[in-house]
Amino acid sequence: MSNNFYQKLITEKHIFVMGILNVTPDSFSDGGKYLNINSATEHTFEMIEDGADIIDIGGESSRPGAEEVSTNEEINRTIPVIESILKQKPNTIISIDTTKSEVAEVALQSGVKIINDISGLSDPKMLEIVKKYDASVVIMHMQGKPRTMQENPKYDNVFDEVFTFLQQKVELAKNYGISSIIIDPGIGFGKSVNHNYDLLINFAKFQTLETPLLIGVSRKSLIGKALNLSVEDRDVATIILETDAIIKGAKIVRTHNVKNAVQLRELNNLLNR
């Protein structure tokens, strides 16, 4: 395995903080804030200064009800930002949040190291691209597509169904010769509030898949609906849920508030010396 990032991920006790950068006009928390290269690059450097280990860049909103964008539009939104960041800080670990193999390939050619696929490898060519560039891949579970996923999500047993889906996708990737795999149960993606909390309650069980776990709860509606909080008032509840996930085995925290997550990381280091 020549993937240096993944080697660090699986060998170090360190928790990795993934800062979110949405270069979209319509993401639920920061849509429209980072549409030009300068603002996106500046925010990235702020997150790196705050201690982010990874920057996750997305050019297509995955908020409930979001419409799909074309491959060309997604490339035009993300690649110039990636190139700007890496030109100035070439050692930055960047993840591309995409479901499209064409976008993934251009991003990997531009220096990205991780593919964050919220669709759980729905594009049949995605594994080919991951393998070709020796990238790491985040495999996430989502019921449906962002445009319709929250209309009426149903499960007989949400944990069992999500676990089985991820187990099958991990095996698929391994059979393709890919070993740099991260899994994400997809909190907020085609799940009701109760479904999300059922997954968080049982989060530790995902460790049996023997693959690093990513948690993404930052400012999501499972917090807003449970506590009647607006998006801008959800950071305290976010760090509480992130802390619980770390205790249950999460290795990567994907978050909007990098400062809070870095404090969690540092305290976790002190508590696990």
For each of the domains in the chain, give its residue range(s) and CATH number, in order of start: 4-267 (3.20.20.20)
pLDDT above 90 (res 2): no
DSSP classification of residue 7: H
CB-based contact 78:96 (threshold 8 Å)? yes
pLDDT above 90 (res 144): no
Per-residue pLDDT band at 221 (split at 50, 70, 90): very high
Place of tokens 């200064």: 49
Instruction: State residue 178's pLDDT score.
Output: 96
Residue range 178-190: average pLDDT? 96
pLDDT above 50 (res 1): no
This prediction's pTM: 0.93
Share of the chain above pLDDT 90, in %: 82
Residues across the chain: 273
Is 220 considered catalytic here? yes
Q: In the chain, what is the straight-line distance between the N-terminal and C-terminal CA atoms, in Å?
A: 28
For residue 95, give Cα distances in angstroms to 17, 25, 43, 114, 117. Answer: 12, 19, 15, 4, 10
The C-alpha angle with vertex 238 and arms to 62 and 56, in degrees rounded to 5, equals 45
Q: Select from 80, 77, 86 the least CA-distant residue to 59.
A: 77
Is 125 considered catalytic here? no
Q: Select from 67, 57, 137 the least CA-distant residue to 97.
A: 57
Distance of CA 19 to the CA centre of its chain: 9
Please tell me whether residue 198 adopts helix, strand or coil conformation. helix
Residue range 211-217: average pLDDT? 98
Q: Which of 50-64, 74-88, 99-113, 187-201 has the lowest mean pLDDT?
A: 50-64
Residue range 50-68: average pLDDT? 86
CB-based contact 81:37 (threshold 8 Å)? yes
Per-residue pLDDT band at 246 (split at 50, 70, 90): very high
> Alpha-carbon distance 127 to 137, whole Å?
9
pLDDT above 70 (res 212): yes
Instruction: State residue 201's pLDDT score.
Output: 98
Q: Which of 169, 254, 259, 265 is catalytic?
A: 254
Q: Which of 64-78, 109-123, 143-157 has the lowest mean pLDDT?
A: 143-157
Q: Which of 169, 191, 219, 220 is catalytic?
A: 220
pLDDT tens-digit readout, 82-140 = 999 999 999 999 999 999 999 999 999 999 999 999 999 999 999 999 999 999 999 99
Mean pLDDT estimate for the chain: 92
